Amino acid sequence: MLRYDKEFDPKAHGPESDGADGPAPGPGRYAADDEVYVFDDDEVVLAVNVALKTGRPLLLFGPPGSGKSTLAPNVARIKRWEYYAHVVTARTEPEDLLWRFDAMQRLNDAQAKKLVDDKGHYYAKGPLWRAFEASGERSVVLIDEIDKADPDLPNSLLGPLGSLSFPVPWDHEQSVSVPPERAPFVVITTNDERELPRPFLRRCIVFELRAPSKKHLLRVAASHLGERYEPELAEKVATHILDVRKTLEDPGAGPSTAEYLDALKASQQLGVVPGTPEWTALEAVTLRKRRDGAEPTG
């Protein structure tokens, strides 16, 4: 166990790291049942604490199912901080993380002679803007799959995240800012499909998550199912997850933790156990899903 002064300590909230009772306050969406992240790796917790103390974004690498997208909402839930998220696509523009200008609405209002004098009326606040404005405690911002965007997008974050401020788009004499003690905890994920700019990497705390082990899967299952947890069944399904990965050319592309939970819940509720013809059919639709290199097993 790593010993140091922790700002974030999931073990302070129970043995399975489920956080405080109920969702954290705020307007964001919080971890659903299949999105609980079990903090059973001391190095992950250390990475979160380093990012919190340095004020740097936490950049997460890792195979599908390793928990890249679920870590952030669970930190928010445990800390009871507000949570904001943005899933990046190929069409995401650098400004989208700060604001989005509704040119069509403004054009329609102008044509209808209903133009609003307040220019801010036509700007929708992005996740970083809302996080900078959040009242009370700090907030958590997830920027998911940043590698899907143009390289200009990561570099565009350096200014706002470095200075904790940015100019109001319609009035550059005004700015949106947040004091360092309330700086948002920014988690950025990448599937490593595109190389990220080096200046951006230098300004991040970087951590690579590992594919979930059997021990991790069992802890997640116990956390989700509570009194309905059946150790023998959970272990059998977890073993099948690992067996499926062995058949793939890229084991990291194997079934995720969410797919494991789907298979386990279906197995439990339908009375389907591994080793039966029914299990083979269930496995095909919950775990294998036509993955490259995977052949159906009996």
N- to C-terminal Cα separation, the chain: 42
Q: Where are the domains of the chain?
A: 10-208, 214-288
pLDDT > 90 fraction of the chain, expressed in percent and rounded: 42
Q: Which homologous superfamily is 10-208 in?
A: P-loop containing nucleotide triphosphate hydrolases (3.40.50.300)
In whole angstroms, give the CA distance from residue 154 to residue 196: 7
pLDDT for residue 116 is more than 90 = no
Specify the pTM. Answer: 0.82
Q: Quick one: DSSP state of residue 23? A: P
Structure confidence by residue, pLDDT tens digits, 202-229: 999 999 998 888 888 898 888 888 888 8
Structure confidence by residue, pLDDT tens digits, 52-85: 999 999 999 998 778 899 999 999 999 999 999 9
pLDDT for residue 95 is more than 50 = yes
Structure confidence by residue, pLDDT tens digits, 151-191: 889 999 999 999 999 999 888 888 999 999 899 999 999 99
CA dihedral (47, 48, 52, 57) positive or negative: positive
Q: Quick one: DSSP state of residue 181? A: G
